[in-house]
Amino acid sequence: MNDMKEVLLRATAEAGKIIQYYFNGTFKVNNKEGINNLVTEVDQLSEDKIIEVIKANFPEHSIISEEVGELLQPSDYQWIIDPIDGTVNFAHGIPICCVSIALKYKDDLMLGAVFNPMMNEMFFAEKGKGATLNGLPISVSTKTDFKKACLVTGFPYKWPESEQHPIKVFERFIMEGLPIRRLGSAALDLCWVACGRFDGFWEYNLSSWDVAAGYLIVQEAGGIITNFEGSPYNVFERETLATNGHIHNAMLEAINRRKEN
């Protein structure tokens, strides 16, 4: 596992250098599905570097990455990559974006790293060994009073009309008088829950590469992460709720509250 940890951290750092080099510079920007679902040439350069580092060391491992999709091999090891999480921020010169890489063995996430090169913050976790920020241990907040919680969320590009529509859920939290932020990077949202900056995070319709590394980091920092029903979470779910544990039930109740007649 030490060899894999070294490769993970090196790939994350190398991709971070690319992102930092191009930040506020000139690069091509294109659209994926939806007019604001952006991809830049820097996403692709970052992804190329990450895959190059992994394949040079573990060519037999499978890869899932946001831009190239699945590069499957007959292996129990799978790397889950987001070359830039927060691409819209990056494209607009907003320094809240990151590289996110996780390593899964069979059904278990073993390693995760999230690096924001503009803030020089490297979040890392290894299963059973805790979570760190720039090498120092981190833990979730100890806040128990939901009424005093600071929360973060994000909004998907598309959402079916339902009682759990993100605007309706957002309104429920706002009506509680809670401060809610939207950073534009789910990976960093999770990491900021892990280090106690936020007390809770929820979002719908995320992909595995958005959450895999952050999921492990939250868990190893002592937090709880489930779907919106409170059931055990996996990175291929579409509902993500991560908290310090103390306010988890209160957030579940608010998310699932039905409109009163």
Marked catalytic residue, from 82, 126, 220, 237: 82
Would residue 108 show up in a list of annotated catalytic residues for this protein? no
Portion of the chain with pLDDT greater than 90, in percent: 77
pLDDT at 36: 62
* Amino acid letter, residue 149: A
Q: Which residues contact 11 (CB under 8 A, 6 or more apart)?
A: 49, 50, 53, 54, 101
Asked if 96 is an active-site residue, the reply is no
Q: Do domains 2-137 and 146-256 have the same CATH topology?
A: no
Whether 204 contacts 210, CB under 8 Å: no
Q: Is the entire prediction scored with pTM above 0.85?
A: yes
Q: Which of 47, 66, 126, 220 is catalytic?
A: 66
87 is annotated as an active-site residue: yes
Residue in 43, 203, 210, 220 annotated catalytic? 210
What's the pLDDT band for 33 if we cut at 50, 70, 90? low
pLDDT in tens, 190-207: 999 999 999 999 998 899
> Which pLDDT tens digit goes with each residue over 73-112?
999 999 999 999 999 999 999 999 999 999 999 999 999 9
Active site residue 66: yes
**CATH T-level assignment (fold) for domain 146-256:** D-Maltodextrin-Binding Protein; domain 2 (3.40.190)
The CA distances from residue 151 to 136, 165, 209, 227, in Å, are 24, 17, 22, 17
Q: What residue ranges do the domains of the chain occupy?
A: 2-137, 146-256
pLDDT greater than 90 at residue 66: no
What pLDDT score does 12 carry? 98
Reply yes or no on whether 199 is catalytic. no
For this structure, is 76 an active site residue? no
229: pLDDT strictly greater than 90 = yes
Out of 47, 85, 189, 203, which one is annotated catalytic? 85
Task: Give start and end residues of each alpha helix (H) in the chain.
Answer: 2-22, 41-57, 87-91, 166-175, 186-194, 208-220, 248-256
> Can you list the alpha helix ranges (DSSP code H) found in 28-177?
41-57, 87-91, 166-175
d(CA 124, CA 101): 10
**Residue 212 banded pLDDT, cuts 50, 70, 90:** very high
Q: Which of 18, 64, 80, 84 is catalytic?
A: 84
Question: Per-residue pLDDT for 261 more than 70?
Answer: no
CATH fold of 2-137 = Fructose-1,6-Bisphosphatase; Chain A, domain 1 (3.30.540)
